[in-house]
Each structure stands twice: as structure tokens, then as C-alpha cells.
Amino acid sequence: MEQIEQGNHHGVCVAVIDLGTQYNQIFNKEQPKVMITWELPDFPLEGENDITFRLISKEYTAVLHAKSNLSIDLVSWRGKQFAPEELEGFDIKTVLGANCLVNVVHNDKGYANVAAVARLPKGMTKRVATYALMYDMDEGVMAIPPNVPEWIEKKIKASKEYIAASGGQAEPPDPSEGQVPVDDEDLPF
């Protein structure tokens, strides 16, 4: 598959995924993480599942202090600062379906990364997301949606919350062990 070219591209937020508390090896500490995914309508795909456009994601530490990457990108995306009361009650789910410009740069290995997110310029036509995916551990740690990519599911399963909910195991216990099988049939933020 061809690499997403560097530069600003029209993006539509299609996924907000709670990754839970992840261990950060660089800083030797645990941090709450969230992943935001955008589809890029100017990069269509043909014949790959139900997704019709290329996707790009960015992982954030899920904190909203002024210097956090999440806060910086959200302020840039909205085009204005948050009032203290807006920050206090902010729900990350509100970004689903929101349009923006996604600035893509390539790292040293040539992989495309999201460098910044900005408000869509006036006069630019908004696009509708082809799907929406929301996973929030507060609504059920073990309820990972079936359309979450495997590499993201592995991250979720490595979280402190998932391990605790699965009885201290990275993978949930097999419920059939020791049992006889039963036969049952505008920017919103």
C-alpha cells in the first residue's frame, strides 16, 4: 500500500479508542492513553473491508492540561482555547465525526505520523464519516468492539484495566474451561 504523502489532508474523526492505563517505558511510569483515528477522504481505497478511505491514528496521553499533546491538538482543531468549565466537562466522544486538517509527516523510518490537527478552513466542504467507532473502558472493559484492529486490541489487552478485569491475565480466561458446553442459539466540541 502506498504511503500517505506528507502535508495537510482533509480528515474526519472516525474512532476514539480508550487504550486504558499503559506502561510508558521511556518515562518508566503508567499513563492513561487514548487513540484518535481519522479517515482521509482524499485517499480512497478499493475493495478493503468496509473502510473506503485511508486511515491514520495518533495516540495521546489522556490528560487535558495546557501542555499536553491532546490539549494542544484539540485547541488547534477547534481554533480556540477551552474555557476552564469546558475543559472540566469535556467528553472526548464529541470529536467523533468532526472534520479537520491532519498534518502528516514521515518519521526517520518513512512511516506516516500525525504531526498536528487543525480546524478546517472556512469554505472547505465538510465530509461525513463513513463509520464511527467508540470504545470506552468505563462502559465495559471487556466489551472491545469486533471491528477494532488487532494491533489496537493488543494494546487494549495490555492495559492495567483489562488485565485486572480478566483476572490478572493479558487475555481473558476461557469461559468454557471445566464446563460442559451449552448449546444456545458543525464542530461538536
- pLDDT at residue 41, rounded to an integer: 93
Name the band, by pLDDT with cuts 50, 70 and 90, for residue 89.
confident
pTM for the structure as a whole: 0.85
- pLDDT at residue 177, rounded to an integer: 39
- Residue 91's nearest CA partner among 20, 34, 23 is 34
* Sign, CA torsion 142/148/150/155: negative
Q: Is the pLDDT of residue 186 over 60?
A: no
Which tens digits make up the pLDDT trace of 26-67? 889 999 999 999 999 999 887 655 657 899 999 999 999 989
Cβ(160)–Cβ(43) under 8 Å?
Answer: no
